[in-house]
Amino acid sequence: MSFKEDCMRTLDEAGVFENSGHRTRFKELLDCYADYPFFSKGLCKCMYLSAWDEEHFALMLEILTELTLGKERDTGEMRMQGERLAEEKTGGEYYVFQLSNAFLDGREFRLEENASIGPEHRHIIGQALLAAERIDSDTL
């Protein structure tokens, strides 16, 4: 099986997709961009996170299109854009972008206990961290 197939199977088995739209958006990103030289497990985790809703999915598509047109070999430019976007956000959105940046950097992310975010963003972050564990697992 290919990485794409293994990844979809693993995430399906983990039950980390919020709904069929989330799953479909993630699969579209994976199918379109998994074979590019800038693809990594960190980017795969960002794709999962961005596929949560249409707004973030559209933003990810825009960024990935720019990477492909520029023939990028890594996600360095994407990481810089992520930092700029995080600075523009507050509350839960800020932490979601920080999580995405941590995925790209390959570093651990811990949500501050006193972080001022609502249950919706806590849920999204928790599910993304669970998906990240699965993506990092030896089965992929």
C-alpha gyration radius of the chain = 14
Q: What are the CA-CA distances from residue 53 to residues 8, 26, 49, 77, 113 (Å)?
A: 18, 10, 9, 23, 25
- The pLDDT tens digits of the residues spanning 9-46 come to 999 999 999 999 999 999 999 999 999 999 999 999 99
Q: Which residues have C-beta within 8 Å of that of residue 10, sequence separation ≥ 6?
A: 134, 135, 137, 139, 140
The number of folded domains in the chain is 1
Checking phi first, is residue 108 left (phi over 0); if not, alpha (psi -120 to 50) or beta? beta
Q: Which amino acid is at 81?
A: Q
Q: Which amino acid is at 69?
A: L
Q: For a pLDDT cut of 70, what percent of the chain falls above it? A: 97
Domain range for 52 is: 3-136
pLDDT at 92 over 70: yes
| Number of CB atoms found within 10 A of residue 8's CB | 18
Of 18-27, 76-85, 96-105, least confident by mean pLDDT is: 76-85
Global pTM value: 0.92
